[in-house]
Amino acid sequence: MAVFRDVMPAFELFQPTSASDAVTLLAEHGSDAWVMAGGQDSFDWLKDRIKRPKVVVDLSQVSGMSGVRDLDGGVEIGAMTTLTTLVGDPLIRERFPILSEAAGVVASPQIRNQGTIGGNISQDTRCWYYRGGMPCYRAGGNVCYADTPTAINREHAILGADRCVAVSPSDTAPALVALDAKIVIQGPSGERVVDAEDYFIGPGIDITRMHVLKPGELLVAIRIPATWAGTDYYFEKVRDRPVWDFPLVNIAAVKVVNGGTIERIRIVLNGVAAHPWRLAQVENAVTGKPADESTAAMAGEMSIEGAFPLRHNGYKVPLMRNLVKRAIRGVQEA
Amino acid sequence: MSDEHDPQSKYVPTRRDLIKGVIAAGAVSSTGYLFRGSITRAFAAAPGSVERMLTLDVNGQQRRVDVMKQETLAMTLRYKLGLTGTKLGCDRAECGACSVLIDDVPHYSCSVLTHSTRGKKIQTVEGLASPDGTLHPVQQAVVEQQGFQCAFCMSGFLMATVGFLKTNPNPTRQELAHGISGNLCRCQDYDKILTSLMRGAELSREVNNA
Ligand SMILES: Cc1cc2nc3c(=O)[nH]c(=O)nc-3n(C[C@H](O)[C@H](O)[C@H](O)COP(=O)(O)OP(=O)(O)OC[C@H]3O[C@@H](n4cnc5c(N)ncnc54)[C@H](O)[C@@H]3O)c2cc1C
Ligand code: SF4
Ligand code: FES
Ligand code: FES
């Protein structure tokens, strides 16, 4: 439970007006610095005094880092674009409505008005042991409090765990992985572009981070190629309350179905592992098959192979299986 | 809510310390709030360094105010500018009591750095009524319909509604419910709140079309 405690501890604040000034500042302050975009993930850390950066680099005054523009039939989205903008943007709605839909179910209207797409895909996990300041693996310690016989782990991972069983909480991340998005990163030594699928990492690669941004690096834009523009899609977020709540499990799938046959498909889930979980094997297995109940049943069973639930999150296994079935054969209108 | 000290964080000022500190610091800009000595000069020269004195545009007035780097807008409004109509319920972006309009869009003021609002237009519940005291149509509707019980959540709901109506002046009940879904009421009479705010939408249209 959050405790209300007046103001946050002091930090030095910088408000650069360009991305290159921001990179200079980040390079100068290294791991002392915290990037703040919309702040909707950052404030909890700072208010709870779990993270105490000496320096905050606030991107709110940076120009040229927000908005959506055409890019060869795809789009380029500035990292500071708000989620509300993505919900309403005509280009996104026309080409990649799955992203509008995913952005539209994040948190609450006010959080979507303030929260950015860059922040949404760079946010930290919501494991409450970790966020409560417990010295667990992810925090540099040598125990996982969520994976003990008495742990409360209803929201935790069923796949890909490696000491840490926390999950990626982002709603937009699986949509971006499904759409083959590229993440554009600026650092002291220039620009690099990584596939969305490689942007998100699990504890086996680095247990202290959810993504590949290094201290001193700035996420500047997201590029979505035309590959999946205007195709069929399926997005569903399962959560306890329809507002504020993070996904228990969500699914983002894009597909091209011709004459009832699946020509190509991408299926990605979140809330099941530390990073968006792409079902590459399932995608291969269903390609060329009819988009019907039996293909869906086969895909559903395949998707949960290797799932290893904890004490309180066993429900995620059938949930995942059924979401995969829906993504393949669709949902009958009631 | 509590003003209690966390025994572990010795550096956390109480609200009283904070106010005393502000009085003592007066109008002195303090890039050196955190770092004293020579490093201050290095920071002052850095791109994007920030002065504590800000001019905020609040309810159409230019307000000069000394704002700490780490201060949220809710703190500035309530404790520096005396605009206590904006409430703090959770201070964690989870209730909506602190909602204000920034450039006409609803935001949780507990979860916005005051410094990030420079150059923007801030509107709080105190800025809804006209200078002559005529209530905003949404306020008028709430009075008519007795929309709230304890009303702690009310200013947040009013601001969320006024902001939402700017994007959709003629919502269905369902659309308005979705538009203000980022606000909680502990007394939980959502149906009556929604009825009064739907009436507010209607009165707003009448006023705007008159
Ligand atoms: C009550 C509540 C409910 C929420 N519910 C949901 C939900 O249902 N679904 C969901 O997906 N999210 C949810 N969120 C999480 C989150 O607030 C939002 O997703 C939001 O999009 C985060 O964006 P931001 O710009 O505010 O992030 P920030 O807090 O500004 O940034 C988040 C992290 O990313 C880093 N970062 C941000 N931008 C950059 C950049 N350009 N370069 C380098 N690093 C960067 C920051 O350093 C920080 O570590 C919720 C948050 C709250 C408080
Ligand atoms: S799940 Fe990960 S973040 Fe949570 S307590 Fe275990 S190690 Fe820490
Ligand atoms: S006080 Fe800001 S949302 Fe609760
Ligand atoms: S009327 Fe009491 S909290 Fe809403």
pLDDT per residue as tens digits for the range A245-300? 999 999 999 999 999 999 999 999 999 999 999 999 999 999 999 999 999 999 99
Cα-to-centroid distance, A49 and ligand 4 (Å)? 30
Which CATH architecture does the domain made up of A12-61 adopt?
Answer: 2-Layer Sandwich (3.30)
Q: In what order do the strands lie in the sheet with A33-36?
A: A12-14, A55-58, A33-36
Please identify among residues 133-192 of chain B the ones whose CB lies closer than 8 Å to any CB of chain A: 160, 164, 178-182
Which pLDDT does position A334 carry in this prediction?
58
- At B145-163, the pLDDT tens digits run 999 999 999 999 999 999 9
Residue B58 covered by a domain: yes
The pLDDT of residue B28 is above 70:
no
Q: Find the distance separating the first CA and the last CA of chain A, reported in whole Å.
A: 40
Give the A:B interface size as CB pairs under 8 Å: 147
The pLDDT of residue A127 is above 90:
yes
Task: Give the count of beta carbons closer than 10 Å to the beta carbon of residue A102.
Answer: 30
Q: B25 and B94: one domain?
A: no
Q: B30 and B76: one domain?
A: no
Average pLDDT over every residue of A102-128: 98
Single-letter code of the amino acid located at A12: E
Q: B117 and B193: one domain?
A: yes
Q: What is the CATH number of the domain that holds B180?
A: 3.10.20.30
Say which CATH topology domain A230-333 has. Answer: Enolase-like; domain 1 (3.30.390)
Q: B130 and B199: one domain?
A: yes
Single-letter code of the amino acid located at B173: R
State residue A197 phi and psi, 5-degree precision. -60, -30
Closest CA of chain B from A25, distance in Å? 8
Of B35, B75, B90, the CB nearest to A12: B35
- At B59-114, the pLDDT tens digits run 999 999 999 999 999 999 999 999 999 999 999 999 999 999 999 999 999 999 99
Q: B119 and B197: one domain?
A: yes
**Average pLDDT value for chain B:** 85
Q: Pick from A237, A232, A221: which is nearest to A170 by CA?
A: A237
Could you say which ligand is closest to the alpha carbon of residue B147?
4
% of chain A at pLDDT higher than 90: 97
- At A179-215, the pLDDT tens digits run 999 999 999 999 999 999 999 999 999 999 999 999 9
Closest CA of chain A from B171, distance in Å? 16
Of A57, A58, A110, the CB nearest to B108: A110
Closest CA of chain B from A286, distance in Å? 37
The pLDDT of residue B33 is above 90:
no
pLDDT band at B40 (very low <50, low <70, confident <90, very high): very low
Which of A317-321, A328-332, B8-12 is most confident? A317-321
Average pLDDT over every residue of A31-43: 97
Could you say which ligand is closest to the alpha carbon of residue B157?
4
Average pLDDT over every residue of B44-53: 82
Q: Does B46 reach chain A within 8 Å, measured CB to CB?
A: yes
Q: Which residues pair with B108 in a beta bridge?
A: B99
Look up the pTM and report it: 0.92
Indicate whether residue A79 lines ligand 1 (CB < 6 A).
yes
**Average pLDDT value for chain A:** 96
Q: B14 and B90: one domain?
A: no
Residue B3 covered by a domain: no
Residue B2 covered by a domain: no
Q: B121 and B190: one domain?
A: yes
Produce one character per residue of A184-210: b if its CB has 16 or more CB atoms within 10 Å, e if not.
bbbbeeeeeebebbebbbbbeeebebb
Range of the domain at B23: 10-49
Residue B154 covered by a domain: yes
- At A216-230, the pLDDT tens digits run 999 999 999 999 999
Test mutation, A3, A106, A108, A241, chain B, max B CBs within 10 A: A108
Indicate whether residue A274 lines ligand 2 (CB < 6 A).
no
Domain coordinates in residue numbering, chain A: 12-61, 230-333
Please report how many Cα atoms fall inside a 13 Å half-sphere around the Cα of residue B187, on the Cβ side. Answer: 13
Which pLDDT does position B39 carry in this prediction?
45
Specify the residue for token string 């998005």.
A181
Cα-to-centroid distance, B100 and ligand 3 (Å)? 11
pLDDT band at A3 (very low <50, low <70, confident <90, very high): low
Question: What number is the ipTM of this complex?
Answer: 0.96
- At A299-311, the pLDDT tens digits run 999 999 999 999 9
- CA-based nearest residue in chain A for residue B46: A25
Q: B63 and B116: one domain?
A: yes
Atom of ligand 3 nearest to the CA of B88: 1
Which pLDDT does position B6 carry in this prediction?
43
Domain count, chain B: 2
Residue B5 covered by a domain: no
A contacts of B30 (beta carbons < 8 Å): none
Q: B93 and B172: one domain?
A: yes
The pLDDT of residue A67 is above 80:
yes
Q: Pick from B112, B55, B110: which is nearest to B81 by CA?
A: B55
